[in-house]
Structure 1
Amino acid sequence: MTTDEPRELRYVYAVCHPLGAPLQAELTGVTGAPPRQLEHRGLVAVVGSVPERDFAEESLRAHLEDLDWLTETARAHQNVIAALTTVTSPLPLRLATVFRDDSGVRLMMEQEERRFRAGLDRLAGRVEWGVKVYVEEPETPARDPAPAVAPSSGRDYLRRRRAERTTRDDTWRRAERFAQELHDELSRHAAHTRVHPPQNPELSRASGMNVLNAAYLVERSGAEEFVERVDATKDREPDLRVELTGPWAGYSFTADDEEGET
């Protein structure tokens, strides 16, 4: 091998137990490279080869500021995790988890063995579902520049504004109560739950204000019933929107402190 031959690093997607079924033959991951299995001490790391020029520390730091590159890499990463989820319950690793060679991956598996085994036990036979509740706020008066009846006095104007604030406050109270009741109900049918901070509407580009952003780790055998429970709530409140996503690998439940629950 010549010294100017490009060096390849090891990109690690997930750790799992030995697979009971093969992955798709045509499956590709980051940079288009097919993933392979690296077994060590009864665990399997699913890895791919990536060029050092893009994934060495300094280059990677720069790439993570490139939204297009980040989106493409995240999509390829998720492609492999999704394929793994069809045949096992993987423990996903962070995006762009990279080591210099197979030996580095094996050393990581030894050092993290206890955590990996605990995480795999927690995820075994389960998938993650995400549930979000949004308040669809009524249009503000600014959208209606010519009200049907103009206020006849300052007192009428203040009364109207007070009524608008009361309506908004009532909507928020109802939304919070609905979100808590929904979360309590779904939690009874999940092995673990995690409540995330509300999504920033500017970043998520979702309409409305997010009042519940939760993840539920559910037995595969109970997934259909869980979906039906969520679907049954979607028309319960006219100003609220319920969104369900999944099933996913247990991204929200990979850490030991999954008791970030309510």
Structure 2
Amino acid sequence: MVDVATDLPAATTGAWLHGVVRDADPATLATLATIAGIDGGPVRAVSAAGLVAVVSTAPLDEYGEEPLRRNLEDLVWLERVARAHHAVVEALARRGPVVPARLATVHTDDGRVAGTLAARRAELVAALDRLTGRGEWGVKGFLVPGAATVTAGTAAAGGVGTAYLRRRRAQLTAREERQQLASAAADAVHSALCELAVVGRRHAPQDRRLSGVPAPMVLNGAYLVDVAALPRFKELVGSLGRRHPGLELELTGPWPAYSFVADRPEPALTVGRPG
């Protein structure tokens, strides 16, 4: 996504927006120089309207509108940039609440970034208030493989072919039942976690190639949790895992609150982003 300025045709670099934080004193902002941005150089702060946007210098021959369209189709390039972008957002989140920008949000200059802060100040301040003292935690639930339930006595009347069909039908029925039970267990786990979290959200289950786990994922939840409630939340995840032995629960985090920021800063022109 690129905000194109027609009045600056000679511009060669833009500003890749990582996220927005509260205004801070100069000493605190100086620590940003220790964080590497997407270009390998330090990120910098753009202050306006009592807020700070953290940006990287973005050469427009790589991050301008047309190059960005092409590069977003390059999975190797996309992974490298996404990792660099996340590393900055994660570093900011360790310092306090941050509103993460959408991946590939690029402005042609710092003035445009400042304009975004001023125009969306109320939304951004509300988002930062909502995230203060809270963190995002992920809970993934994987189906525990069940043992085969085929009996040796199924090869009765009807011959080998009939016995095979009976075994196959029994296998499919058992698999469907396990999946239904796992789905119900995932619903119960999510509901219980939402009662303790400030808010919860279910994402689509990840493909096995992305999760790195051979078992099917049936729960991909994100939960915004108060810091004070975190010990109880972790304890609840453990107890729910024992209560639902058909699911293997995995707790991850804390993460920057990607899942709970509706008003994320983005420019006027959208050129596309990964789905």
Give the shorter-chain TM-score range.
0.7 to 0.9
Could you say which structure has the greater relative contact order, defined with CA pairs below 8 angstroms and 6 or more residues apart? 2
Q: Which residue of 1 aligns with 2:190?
A: 183
Q: CA deviation at 1:203?
A: 4.5
Cα offsets for 1:155-193 (capped at 9, x unmatched):
433332232223212211221221111111110111111
In structure 1, what is the Cα distance between the partners aligned to 2:90 and 2:235?
22
Q: For the structure 1 residues 169 and 25, does the alpha-carbon distance in structure 2 shift closer, same or farther, using more than 3 Å as the test?
A: same
Amino acid of the residue matched to residue 230 of structure 2? A
How do 1:10-25 residues align onto structure 2 when only pairs under 5 Å count? 10-19=15-24, 21=28, 23=31, 25=33
Number of residues of Structure 1 aligned to a counterpart in Structure 2: 249
Q: Which residue of 2 aligns with 1:245?
A: 252
Retained in 2: the 8 A contact 1:24–1:83? no
Q: CA deviation at 1:80?
A: 0.8
In structure 1, what is the Cα distance between the partners aligned to 2:174 and 2:192?
27
Amino acid of the residue matched to residue 192 of structure 1? V
Q: Are residue 60 (structure 1) and residue 68 (structure 2) matched?
A: yes
How do 1:135-214 residues align onto structure 2 when only pairs under 5 Å count? 135-138=143-146, 151-152=155-156, 153=159, 154-214=161-221
In structure 2, what is the Cα distance between the partners aligned to 1:150 and 1:162?
11
In structure 2, what is the Cα distance between the partners aligned to 1:51 and 1:72?
16
Q: Are residue 37 (structure 1) and residue 56 (structure 2) matched?
A: no
If the length of structure 2 is used for normalisation, what is the TM-score? 0.81
CA RMSD of aligned residues (A): 2.7
Amino acid of the residue matched to residue 113 of structure 1? R
Cα offsets for 1:62-90 (capped at 9, x unmatched):
11111111111111111111111111110
If the length of structure 1 is used for normalisation, what is the TM-score? 0.84
When structure 1 is superposed on structure 2, of 16-25 and 121-130 the one drifting more is: 16-25
In structure 2, what is the Cα distance between the partners aligned to 1:33 and 1:224?
38
Amino acid of the residue matched to residue 15 of structure 2? R
In structure 2, what is the Cα distance between the partners aligned to 1:18 and 1:123?
15
Q: Which residue of 2 aligns with 1:217?
A: 224
Amino acid of the residue matched to residue 54 of structure 2? V
- Structure 1 unaligned segments of length 5 or more: list them: 258-262
Q: Which residue of 2 aligns with 1:260?
A: none
Q: Are residue 227 (structure 1) and residue 234 (structure 2) matched?
A: yes
In structure 2, what is the Cα distance between the partners aligned to 1:229 and 1:36?
40
Q: Which residue of 2 aligns with 1:131?
A: 139
Q: For the structure 1 residues 243 and 19, does the alpha-carbon distance in structure 2 shift closer, same or farther, using more than 3 Å as the test?
A: farther
Cα offsets for 1:184-233 (capped at 9, x unmatched):
11101111111112223344443222211111011122223322321333
SS in 1 for 2:163: helix
In structure 1, what is the Cα distance between the partners aligned to 2:221 and 2:154?
44
Retained in 1: the 8 A contact 2:21–2:51? yes
Using the aligned pairs only, state the percent identity. Answer: 39
